A and B are shown apart, each in its own frame.
Chain A
Amino acid sequence: MDGKLILGFLNYLIVGIVFLLGLISLLIPGQKKKLTFLFLMFISAGLMSFLFFAGLAFILPSISIVGFCIILNLFIQNQEFFSSGNSGSKNPNSHGSKLRKNVIILELLVAILITGGLGLLFFTYNDEFFKNISTVTVFNTATLFGIIKDISENYMPLIFIFIIVLFMSVIWFIAILGKESKKN
């Protein structure tokens, strides 16, 4: 079998696995099962980034991802242990449940229509762009040495992210402080 064909097949396979695991984690009932599939999705996303030739750029950020997974797991464990925050165990009357079902179907239909419309717009208006784009003939991997060298030489990505992080932190702290001051 041709090497290029194997590489292409692997790329599509791993992107498909990421997609499927994410979809399962979104749709499956049960929070612990959701978390398991989410973690599997993270692992396959790591594999995907290896196949997209930026695996080295994913190894170090995975430390923060693992931290995020641990705290999320703790949060859900705590929620399930004290059974707080679950709104599924209510027992509504038949009229209310019928109305609720109709609302769910309506919400689902509206969401599918909006996303389908967006997808159609994206597909139709991007077709010309992809025909005109000139792709490279050879693609190379980035080495860790090259990335480190680039970080020390090119400060623009770092400054850009730093500004975004500052902006998001300001919004986040304003949101928290507003919430806390209302409670007090």
Chain B
Amino acid sequence: MVYCNTWERKQKELNIQYISIFSFIIFLIGLCGAVLSRRFLNILISLQFFIISALINFLGFSLFVYELSYWDKSFVFFAIISVYLFLFMIVFYNYSKQTNIYWLDAMADMSLFKPDKSDWWGDEKDDSA
């Protein structure tokens, strides 16, 4: 299903300039927050500002300049997944350091099973008896 919305330049219901300035303001607030605050959560929220600003800019320009493109959608699709997986990794690293999971699990043996010789050859019988 394709929705079509006509766009009249004279009326200017949606203006790319307003959207771009708005996204830049969001980016500046994120920059201000990231520079000013030293707290972990504030810096993460500032990073969300960056991401949302980039998203608005990217989708806004792709919508207003190109007639119908799909590659930008797939780019946003993969970019958001990778960015949030990366953020997940950072937060998980901090969380694991905080809860000492890191030293218990991550630095130790990660294998679920630890096969040794007896798994392959069976229990060794004592022949001397």
Contact = CB atoms under 8 A, between A and B. Distances in A.
A60 B85 CA distance: 13
B82 A161 contact: yes
Contacts of A61: 76-77, 80-81, 84
Interface string A23-48: 10110000100110010011001001
Interface residue tally of chain B, by bracket?
Answer: 35 or more
B104 interface: no
Interface residues of A, number: 84
Given A150-B70, A157-B75, A4 B95 contact: no
Given A64-B85, A72-B91, A26 B14 contact: no
Report whether over half of chain B's contact residues are helix, strand or loop; otherwise say mixed: helix
A154 B45 CA distance: 33
Interface in B1-34: 1-9, 11, 13-14, 16-22, 24-26, 28-29, 31-33
Report whether over half of chain A's contact residues are helix, strand or loop; otherwise say mixed: helix
Contacts of B73: 54, 56-57, 142, 146-147, 150
A-B CB proximity, top 9 nearest? A8-B13, A150-B70, A61-B80, A157-B75, A64-B84, A130-B17, A115-B28, A75-B95, A57-B73
13 contacts: A8-B14, A53-B3, A58-B76, A75-B91, A78-B95, A136-B67, A140-B2, A143-B2, A147-B73, A147-B77, A165-B86, A172-B86, A172-B89
Interface of A: 4-5, 7-8, 11-12, 15, 18-19, 22-23, 25-26, 31, 34-35, 38, 41-42, 45, 48-49, 52-54, 56-58, 60-61, 64-65, 67-68, 71-72, 74-76, 78-79, 82, 84-85, 107-108, 111-112, 114-115, 118-119, 122-123, 126-127, 130, 133-143, 146-147, 149-151, 154, 156-158, 160-161, 164-165, 168, 172, 176
